[in-house]
Amino acid sequence: MNQIIKYFPVKKFFLLTIMFLLLDYWPATSQPKGLGLGVIIGEPTGISFKKWVNKNQAVDGAVAWSFGNEDAFHLHLDYLFHNRRLIQIDRNSIPFYYGIGGRFKFGDSNTFGIRFPLGLTFFIVEVPIDLFLEVVPVMNLAPETDLDLNAAIGARYYFH
């Protein structure tokens, strides 16, 4: 297990590098529609979903496993706002998103916290897929108040 933890940051860096290299080769589109279902990898790791409310707002969440200080079952739900003007590439955008949500971790000590997600989403034209990268400060409220940090990459396929 120590070997996996030791090399995990190298694997995350490798995956992030590949993702951003691929951004140069795939054209982007304005937004997928419908419900997106896929994976989130990092802290936490599991199944991710996203449902668009309108052109610039969405609800996302995950059913996942947390590998932080203690292994725990992780659930989160966020309300996101997307800024499409911040990053423009050839008349396409890579929306920056931010939002607020909640997190529950069920382990040796059950934890509840408020999430503040910040991330980038990239949409692929040829297939209804998005790739995302996010960093999420978390304010844990129970059983004690402290700060935490989640970070992950992922991909979702959209069903129309």
User: pLDDT tens digits, the chain, 160 residues: what are they?
Assistant: 334 444 445 455 444 444 444 443 334 444 567 899 999 999 999 999 999 999 899 999 999 999 887 899 999 999 999 998 877 676 666 899 999 999 999 998 899 999 999 999 998 867 899 999 999 999 999 999 999 999 999 999 998 7
Question: How deeply is 56 buried, as exposed, middle or buried, from its count of CB atoms within 10 A (0-12, 13-18, 19+)?
Answer: middle
pLDDT at 46: 98
The answer to whether the beta carbons of residues 129 and 155 sit under 8 Å apart is yes
17 CB contacts (<8 Å, ≥6 apart)?
A: none
pLDDT at 74: 97
Tell me the pTM.
Answer: 0.78
Nearest CA to 111 out of 137, 61, 148, 152 is that of: 148
Residue ranges and CATH numbers for the domains of the chain are 2-159 (2.40.160.20)
Here the tokens at position 116 are: 């503040």
